[in-house]
């Protein structure tokens, strides 16, 4: 099978850039929400939990349409974004936003599970020794939960690489701008002579996703082993 064509390399580079940016964008909010849902009880907690995980159960096209209603040119925030020179609809930024929204629930779930496995007694001991909430989180909770946190970030990255429905709805399929790997595969399948390109891009996408899943599983195994230690 011949190597990737220039436009296919372009789709690969764009996918990696969009996925990396999206993962970085939601890393801190994802960790914060995971900690909040794992450690705090507050009014409306169920609603926050439901809203965070809503993209997991909604059709991605619906998520993309809701984002379009929010940040599109005629959306609630679209006029403001256009006025400050930061339009998101049908731009690379829109592709990043769509990928970030779809990746966030996976990151939050993984972080939440990891933090719930950390013994609260260790945090209480640090509090007795004078450590404040931020210091306890930074020196006790986060290091112990780190394998699960990293696993969540890897899963979020993999989800971003494979994002299709929300992206094509919010950002379209513009070569060099928003046409990531899934969109390039879809475009190749629409072309009478695009089968070879579709096969190449599919194999590449499978390899990327499988590598990310294996890496995530490795980190989760480390988390389980750490949790089983006396």
Q: Choose the most confident range, by mean pLDDT, from 19-23, 41-45, 73-77.
A: 19-23
* Span 34-46, pLDDT tens digits: 999 999 998 999 9
Average pLDDT on 53-82 reads 91
Confidence band of 1 (pLDDT split at 50, 70, 90): very low
Mean residue pLDDT of the chain comes to: 89
Q: In this predicted structure, what is the pLDDT of residue 214?
A: 86
Report the distance separating Cα 211 and Cα 213, nearest Å: 6
Please report where in the chains the tokens 């930024």 appear, as a residue: 93
DSSP secondary structure string, 153-174? Answer: HHHHHHHHHT--HHHHHHT---
Confidence band of 4 (pLDDT split at 50, 70, 90): confident
Report the distance separating Cα 32 and Cα 16, nearest Å: 25
Task: Give 77-128 as a 3 state SS string.
Answer: CHHHHHHCCCCCCCCHHHHHHHHHHHHHHHHHHHHHHHHHCCCHHHHHHHHH
Q: Which residue has the higher pLDDT, 47 or 190?
A: 47
Confidence band of 83 (pLDDT split at 50, 70, 90): confident
Whether 172 has a pLDDT exceeding 80, the answer reads yes
Using DSSP, state whether 218 is helix, strand or coil.
helix
Report the distance separating Cα 138 and Cα 140, nearest Å: 6
Average pLDDT on 104-121 reads 93
DSSP state of 139: I
Number of other CB atoms surrounding residue 20 within 10 Å: 15
> Quick one: how far is CA 32 from the chain centroid?
14
Average pLDDT on 5-32 reads 93
CB 19 within 8 A of CB 161: yes
Number of other CB atoms surrounding residue 56 within 10 Å: 14
CB 220 within 8 A of CB 145: no
Q: Which residue has the higher pLDDT, 225 or 75?
A: 75
Please provide the distance, in angstroms rounded to a whole number, between the alpha carbons at the two ends of the chain: 52
The residues spanned by each domain of the chain are 16-224
What's the CATH architecture for 16-224? Orthogonal Bundle (1.10)
């Amino acid at each position: 099978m011949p190597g990737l064509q220039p436009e296919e390399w372009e789709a690969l580079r764009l996918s990696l850039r969009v996925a990396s940016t999206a993962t970085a964008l939601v890393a801190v909010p994802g960790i914060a929400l995971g900690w909040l849902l794992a450690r705090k009880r507050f009014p409306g907690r169920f609603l926050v939990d439901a809203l965070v995980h809503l993209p997991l159960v909604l059709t991605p096209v619906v998520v993309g349409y809701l984002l379009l209603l929010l940040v599109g040119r005629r959306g609630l925030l679209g006029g403001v974004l256009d006025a400050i020179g930061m339009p998101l609809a049908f731009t690379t930024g829109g592709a990043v936003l769509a990928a970030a929204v779809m990746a966030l629930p996976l990151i939050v779930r993984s972080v939440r599970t990891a933090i719930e496995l950390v013994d609260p007694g260790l945090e209480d001991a640090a509090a007795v020794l004078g450590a404040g909430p931020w210091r306890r989180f930074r020196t006790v909770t986060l290091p112990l939960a780190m394998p699960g946190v990293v696993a969540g970030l890897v899963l979020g990255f993999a989800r971003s690489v494979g994002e299709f429905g929300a992206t094509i709805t919010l950002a379209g399929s513009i070569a060099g701008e928003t046409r990531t790997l899934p969109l390039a595969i879809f475009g190749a399948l629409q072309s009478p002579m695009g089968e070879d390109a579709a096969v190449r891009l599919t194999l590449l996408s499978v390899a990327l996703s499988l590598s990310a899943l294996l890496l995530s599983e490795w980190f989760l195994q480390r988390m389980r082993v750490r949790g089983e230690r006396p």
